[in-house]
Amino acid sequence: MAGQSITPPPYPEGDALQGQIANRHRRGALWRSLFLAATILAILALIALLYNVVNQSFGLVAVQNDVEPEALVRTFFNDEMLNASNTLASEDDDELVAALMENPYAIGFFGFAYYRENSDALRALSINGIEPNAETAENGRYPLARPLFIYSAQNIIRQNPAVSLFTNFYLTHVDDVIEEVGYFSAGSGNIAAARQSWIQADGIELVPGQWAAINPAESGGQVQVIGSSTVYPLTQFMADKMKEAGFAGQIEIEVVGTTAGLRALCNDSTADIANASRAIKPVEFEACRSIGRLPVEMRVGTDALAIVVSQANTFLTDVTDDELREIFTTAETWNEVNPDWPAEPIQRYIPGADSGTLDFFTEVIFDEELRDLPKDTLVEILAATISTGLGRRLEREQRFYADRLVFEDPALWEEVCASEAPPAGCTLGERSSYDVYELVLERVVNPDVKLSWALYDSLFRRSEIELQAQRQYPNAHIEFRAWLTPDFIVSPQSSTPEFAGVRTAILGTLWVVFITILFSFPIGTAAAIYLEEYAGDNRLNRLFQTNINNLAGVPSIIYGMLGLAIFVRALEAFTSGAIFGQVEADTTANGRTIVSAGLTLGLLILPLIIINAQEAIRAVPSSLRQASYGIGATKWQTVWYHVLPNALPGILTGTILALSRAIGETAPLVVVGASTFITLDPDGPFSKFTVLPIQIYQWTSRPQAEFRNIAAAAILVLLTLLLTLNATAVLLRNRYSKQLT
């Protein structure tokens, strides 16, 4: 009423004011503490996530190959030596010795014992200036020094007393007689290890470090020894000594080569003991285990493989590794290797294909990796191993040679390439040597990860890991593996985790994200502009705004069902590409494509983009609009030239957040038909597809531990992709944003 004064509200003063300020400070401190705690908790959660992912992406693995790469290399060079001109190969060292004696232009190699028996007619060459003798063999300076073994099996030693007795006698006396035979001691440590292997195999109870020498007198039974010609003189000498000591049984020794001897032990079950001039190979070990024989390795001596020529040879005293490679493979005459040597044909006398001596010589002198073999050799290895059908499929994917075919019939190839849908191999260039090596690795070597360990355990529990691997998979080798590699990124998906990659999933993710942004960003921004700048305050617009806010919180699986109903089924003709001629007339259209996925995710993030864009537009000062109107600009000109440029940083920020959600979604894409296993790269918006989150989900659901390793690596790829896309968006935002002056 007129004339009445308005009493102002009371304000706190004095102690009341100080108390109110103190309460505000306490509340502020409390909220600040809660904010800092939440931030620290979020950082710790992120660190824990990254630790877990990185911990699974790297670490030690126990890998067991179907075929060892070294065996493929050895086989290649063995064949090259055996097929060289003027070459005689024999498992009978006496035959090699006889052929070498009278020929001044001949060269060969065999065990040191055979050389010493015939040293009056033969001369051993030094290699790189190092002569073969006891000293250089034992200290390892002589390059062709090698161990000598006998192998049996645990069940044979326990069930056949004669075998147990013979191996016991062998290990008791071998060091006393080995130099008499012409070989060198294996060393006290190796002999002790061999004796311990025998004790464990026999099951006898002894005080640790004690050895029981069994008297062979008045004992009987039969022992069948098969194998290396190199170890034969030593084994025969031990058999004779045992008979002299009173053994009443029979010991039959057959010379067939190391490989054949181990085959007789592990495949044919015809041998009780195998003489071997090399260590047993993993495939041979597994062959033994498959028939219930656990191989027992006993090293019995050391041999210096002698490179020998006739005493009549006057020009050779020393050779190098490089000269040996040429002498036993490609060179035809001596002067091709060294101009100072005579122009006479080289006569080669070498052990046969089943000889461990040949294998050992090849491993030492031809020290090369599988990847270093010529492309032609790698193709030959592949052709000799895989089926013709698989070879044709690989060749249709990409040819091995530009000028010839390996698996495919030329007439059929011409017909296939002339068809309406020719395979990629018709137009692509030939495979590189590395590509063929990768195929050999995958199809022939076939490495199988038996066990894998996390990075932390690999760094701090290495010894325990090695013991576990040796106990469970004695033929596997331990190696450190980074599951996240360049090959992992560029390789397609595979049912074998060792060769699986994320290329197809990355391409699918990029396609889906591109369509999602192409659909949602302009529509979301336009809707925000309309609602903030043009829409009146009426019931209909308030209803729109309420629904947009509600849709932002709808579970993503609901959007997946919506996408299935609308894009996959109702709009199948469009999303399958049928109306654009992307589907052949006699095939059924299928809307489960990249377009459907992109549009579904576009609907999912559309409310988020609209809400964030509205907030950004609302933050533009009204004075800027009034100034624009004041100089005669229309409403649209004001929005386009003033409001939108100033709101763009905020709009792009909201879009980045929405995009981050879309990249990580799985449920709606599963509903609309994303593939869980696909090896074909998407080549357009109407392609079948998969994305990284689905790939990760599929791998984590597999029972093999290795799939969890590659899932962790895929998570790192997804995080990197997300950060890259976000960083790109931030750069664009900063470039096109304007600051108010």
Q: Percent of the chain beyond pLDDT 90?
A: 50
Quick check: 87 pLDDT over 90?
Answer: yes
Which residues, other chains included, contact 226 with Cβ-Cβ below 8 Å and sequence gap of 6+? 253, 254, 256, 260, 261, 264, 265, 270, 271, 273, 274, 275
Contacts of 157 (CB under 8 A, 6+ apart): 163, 164, 167, 198, 201, 202, 296
pLDDT in the model for residue 678: 85
- Taking only the tens place, the pLDDT of each residue in 442-486 is 899 999 999 999 999 999 998 888 878 877 887 788 899 999 999
CB 444 within 8 A of CB 66: yes
In the block, tokens 């620290």 appear at 40
Indicate the helix (H) or strand (E) that contains 575: helix 572-575
Claim: this prediction has a pTM higher than 0.85: no
Residue whose tokens read 């656990």: 294
Stretch 625-637: mean pLDDT: 90
Each domain of the chain, given as residue ranges in start order, spans: 48-65+448-482, 69-137+307-368, 145-304, 371-446, 503-736
With H, G, I as helix, E, B as strand and everything else as coil, classify residue 437: helix
| pLDDT for residue 213 | 84
pLDDT at 738 (0 to 100):
52
Quickly state the pLDDT bin for 413 (edges 50, 70, 90). Answer: very high
Residue 695's alpha-carbon distances to 127, 380, 493, 512, in angstroms, are: 56, 35, 9, 14
Do domains 69-137+307-368 and 145-304 share one topology? The answer is yes
Cα Dmax for the chain: 144
pLDDT higher than 50, residue 487: yes
* Neighbouring C-beta atoms of residue 157, cutoff 10 Å: 25
Residues 6+ apart with CB under 8 A from 594: 508, 511, 512, 515, 682, 684, 685, 686, 687, 689
* pLDDT beyond 90 at 428: no
Q: pLDDT band at residue 717, thresholds of 50, 70 and 90?
A: very high
| Tens digit of each residue's pLDDT (9 = 90 or more) over 353-401 | 888 889 889 989 988 889 888 999 999 989 988 899 999 999 999 999 9
| Percent of the chain surpassing pLDDT 70 | 97
Q: Domain 503-736 sits in which CATH superfamily?
A: MetI-like (1.10.3720.10)
Query: Cβ distance 333 to 344 under 8 Å?
Result: yes
Check: CB of residue 586 under 8 Å from CB of residue 553.
no
Asked whether residue 740 carries a pLDDT value surpassing 50, the answer given is no
Strand (E) positions, 550-697?
Answer: none
- Model confidence at 587: pLDDT above 70: no
What is the arrangement of strands in the sheet containing 106-110, beginning at the earlier edge strand?
87-90, 347-351, 106-110, 306-310, 122-124
Confidence check: pLDDT of 95 > 70: yes
Please give the angle made by the CA atoms of 598, 604 and 605, to the nearest 5 degrees: 95
Q: How confident is the model at residue 124 (pLDDT cuts 50, 70, 90)?
A: very high
Residue 41 pairs in a beta bridge with none
In CATH, the number for domain 145-304 is 3.40.190
Reply yes or no on whether the pLDDT at 6 is more than 80: no
Residue 480 CA to residue 472 CA, distance in Å, equals 18
pLDDT at position 9 is: 66
Whole-angstrom distance, CA of residue 678 vs CA of residue 493? 7
Task: Give me the mean pLDDT over the 569-593 stretch.
Answer: 78
What is the band of 588 on the pLDDT scale with cuts at 50, 70, 90?
A: low
The whole-number pLDDT of residue 142 equals: 92
pLDDT tens digits, residue range 283-309? 788 888 888 888 999 999 998 889 999
- Candidates 291, 287, 263; CA nearest to 276 is 263
Alpha carbon distance 695, 702 (integer Å): 11
Tell me: pLDDT of 36 over 60: yes
- Across 222-242, average pLDDT: 93
Model confidence at 41: pLDDT above 90? yes
Please name the CATH architecture into which domain 69-137+307-368 falls.
3-Layer(aba) Sandwich (3.40)
Which positions ≥6 away from 218 have C-beta within 8 Å?
A: 246, 248
First-to-last CA distance in the chain? Answer: 48
β-pairing verdict for 477-482 and 58-64: antiparallel
pLDDT of the residue at 741: 40
Tokens of 223: 């022992």
Amino acid 673: pLDDT: 85
List phi, psi (to 5°) of 276. -145, 130
- Looking at every residue in the chain, the average pLDDT score rounds to 89
